Amino acid sequence: MRIQPRQQILGIWRALLTSRCSGGEWTWGGCDGSNSISDAEQLLCLLYPATEIEALALDDPDTVQDDVFATLAPFFGRARDISPKIVEILEDYLDRYTGPTGQPVFSAGGYLRSSEARAATARQLELDVVESYSKSLTLCIAGLKYLRSFARNTGSRSPVSPSVSSRIETLQARLDHRLTTAMVGLIRSFVVHTVEPESAAGRAMLTMFNQTHVPTNVVVNGVAKRLERLRMRLCQNLTLSETAEEDLREPGVLFECGWSWGIARRAERVEFVSSDMEIAKVDGLAIDHPSLYFTVVALDCINNLADPYTRESLNAEQRRLYDALRLRWELAQSYWSAMARYGDGRWPLEDIPWRTSDGEESDYFSLSVSAVLIQDLFNREASDEHLTRAAPIFDELARRGRITRRVTTDDPARQLHVPGVRLLLKGTEDLDGGPVLQWLVSDYEPVLLERTLQAARLSSDLVTRDRLLDLAQATMEHLESRAYRSGPEAGLWDDVERVFATDTTSFDCPGRQMPAPRPQSPSWSLTERVIECLVVADAIFRQPPLPSAASAMRALELLTEAEHLLNQRLLELSERDLSPNRQSLEQIGLEVARARSVINERPGTAHSICAEALRRLDKLEFAGNDAARGV
């Protein structure tokens, strides 16, 4: 199937409103219950594309497009009622996730699961995680962008009532406060982990980095040299504990940096924010060990802050927090990108699956490192050489994840999707003596799709880009097969058992009747991931097509010939000639001029125009010769 961002987003909006907005009321909750993350994802399914894609904008009732309005009308009513309703939904979200003291609540709730037979305690389910801060940050940015645009577009032409205007001002202040708090949480969740080369963790890291099988000391020295500047930036620009800084300055010590699952147990306080902000001083539980998954989550949301419009709207306190986050963003991205490509031979990233320092291996970890690499290449405007090497990695990950290959009986790849990759949140057991909690990650397909699209957007090589877009199409088709096909959730995700069922009789095979999908609430995590992918696809398709050197040369050859023959024909006409012959030549002249104006950006189009112009010139010449023979 083709990826069609506009049509597919409208389809998701229609399914969202049908499923969760019956009776005109917005209903929270999904397959993981109602919590600060899931409810933010549910709202982002609507708000994120509405603020990122101009054609789907909802903030100006006079410019809402017909098909967009037709999709939303059953729930929102009139176009002028859309924004007040979104204000109401945002208010409801903030009311649900603001504590009695006015502090934002970031509890993960049903996303946290026990890794043991005993259940998690009530206080454990109230824990914050990096995903909580990430989704809140993204939601606050989208909400603030929407409200500011709404106020700007309707202030003079369709003024809102004083009561709505007052509510908008209050809502903006509340979103600003939640944004600031989420930024503080992200800063305090960044960790640096030092590792002795002889330890189990050190040996696991060296196994990945030593792709050429050289002596261990050569790899240790090589990694130290590669990361020397990064190591100095960590020591000079971050506030680390005395022990951590001493370890980091040791030349033979390996290290890694990124985000843990939540606020680190040795996290420094953030002193320059308001003194009543509890998150700036609360003691953390997370171990000082970066998680690839939460690192990528943090990098993605911080990248949203880099938008110039968003940066300009930050207050002084938020700009200072942004500078601190941006520094950590650069450090983590540089580290993982460098380690993914370390050495002169095969990249460690090409040695699938990636092995983390705690000895865990998974194709999902390779996908996570690939995500960091692509984002780093995008920001550095790297050459296509790196993307040419990255494309086969995505192909391999698609095969290993059974996206471009069929699922077999007892296939271990099923674990990537059902129940997903299990991440232990070490340190959670210190709260109330509860069990170690775990986080299940089952978004392998949408992550692969989004990173493949980003790589295609970055590539300037036609062959590589075409290969990546083909893979993206195949991944989207596979992902669509996981959407519900009937019932109130039809068009939403995730009916994963349709594709990755543990019972082989449940596979969607010719000649076998599919069992009716069991009733289930939608997964807003996966649905919102699909929305993100479609927003990336929209950005790709709005770019001009990639020019081909061969096509440009051929187009130039045809253009030169067409202009020359046209000038020859015009020489034969007198100034008083007003015949249809002159009119045809003047029209051909306009077309040739059009071809010259687009030849650099769209050589294929120029080629087509010139070919048609040459055909018409030849027809005129043939007609003239035929007339001469008749005389």
C-alpha distances in Å from residue 43, one per residue of 9, 39, 56, 64, 375? 14, 6, 15, 19, 26
Query: Is the pLDDT at 178 greater than 60, yes or no?
Result: yes
What is the CB neighbour count within 10 angstroms for residue 568? 11
Tens of pLDDT, residues 461-513: 788 888 999 999 999 999 999 999 988 889 999 888 888 875 443 334 333 33
> Looking at residue 316, what is its pLDDT?
92
Q: What is the CA radius of gyration of the chain?
A: 29
The encoded tokens of residue 377 equal 């290449």
Looking at residue 375, its pLDDT comes to 87
- The backbone region for 20, taken as left when phi is positive above 0, alpha when psi lies in -120 to 50, beta otherwise, is alpha
Burial of 161 (0-12, 13-18, 19+ CB in 10 A): exposed
Which pair of structure tokens corresponds to residue 484? Answer: 């519900």
Burial of 163 (0-12, 13-18, 19+ CB in 10 A): exposed
Mention every residue, 6+ apart, whose C-beta is less than 8 A from residue 194: 244, 247, 248, 250, 253, 254, 255
Q: Which of 155-159, 160-164, 165-169 has the highest mean pLDDT?
A: 165-169
For 520, half-sphere exposure in the C-beta direction (CA atoms, 13 angstrom radius) is 20
For residues 434-445, average pLDDT:
94
| Most confident of the following: 317-321, 410-414, 616-620 | 317-321
pLDDT confidence tier of residue 523, bands split at 50, 70 and 90: very high
Q: Answer yes or no: are the C-beta atoms of 540 and 452 closer than 8 Å.
A: no
What integer pLDDT is reported at residue 488 of this predicted model? 83
Q: What is the pLDDT of residue 81?
A: 87
Helix axes 292-305, 162-187, angle to 10 degrees: 140
Query: pLDDT grade, residue 421 (50/70/90)?
Result: very high
Residue 113: both structure tokens together? 């699961």
Give the pLDDT of residue 501.
Answer: 73
pLDDT at residue 516 in the model: 40
Q: What is the overall mean pLDDT for the chain?
A: 88
The contacts of residue 218 (CB under 8 Å, 6+ apart) are none
At 188, is the secondary structure helix, strand, or coil?
coil
DSSP state at residue 341: T
Structure tokens at 152: 């700007």
Say if residue 428's pLDDT is above 50.
yes
Nearest in space to 146 (alpha carbons), one of 125, 127, 172, 123: 172
Query: With pLDDT > 90 as the criterion, what percentage of the chain qualifies?
Result: 58
> What is the average pLDDT across 120-131?
94
Q: What is the mean pLDDT of residues 399-425?
A: 91
- Amino acid (1-letter code) at residue 301: C
Q: What gap in Å lies between CA 131 and CA 115, rounded to an integer?
A: 19
The set of residues, in sequence order, having a beta carbon less than 8 Å from that of 422 and lying 6+ positions away, is 115, 438, 439, 440
The whole-number pLDDT of residue 194 equals: 92
Q: What is the mean pLDDT of residues 3-14?
A: 94
Are residues 502 and 515 in contact, defined by beta-carbon separation less than 8 angstroms?
no
Per-residue confidence at 630, pLDDT binned at 50, 70, 90? low
**Residue 181 pLDDT greater than 80, yes or no:** yes
Predicted confidence (pLDDT) per residue in 195-250, tens digit? 999 999 999 999 999 998 899 999 999 999 999 999 999 888 887 766 677 778 88
Q: Residues near 121 by Cβ (< 8 Å), separated by ≥ 6?
A: 431, 432, 434
pLDDT (0 to 100) of residue 203: 93
Q: What is the pLDDT of residues 534-545, one digit of tens each?
A: 999 999 988 877
Highest-confidence segment of 131-145, 248-262, 593-607: 131-145
Global confidence as pTM: 0.86
Q: Which pLDDT belongs to residue 574?
A: 63
Return the structure tokens found at 500.
Answer: 């990755």
From its phi and psi, is residue 486 left (phi > 0), alpha (psi between -120 and 50) or beta?
beta
Whole-number pLDDT of residue 515: 39
pLDDT for residue 182 is more than 60: yes
In this predicted structure, the answer to whether residue 34 has a pLDDT above a threshold of 60 is: yes
pLDDT per position as a tens digit, 592-606: 999 888 888 888 888
The residues spanned by each domain of the chain are 1-543, 552-630
**What CA–CA distance (Å, rounded) separates 151 from 267?**
39
Is-contact 398 468, C-beta < 8 A?
no
Mean pLDDT of 179-196: 95
The least confident of 15-29, 38-52, 111-125 is 15-29
pLDDT given for residue 517 in this prediction: 43
In angstroms, rounded to a whole number, what is the distance separating the alpha carbons of residues 355 and 366?
A: 8
Grouping H, G, I as helix, E, B as strand and the rest as coil, residue 190 is strand
Residue 518 has pLDDT above 60, yes or no: no
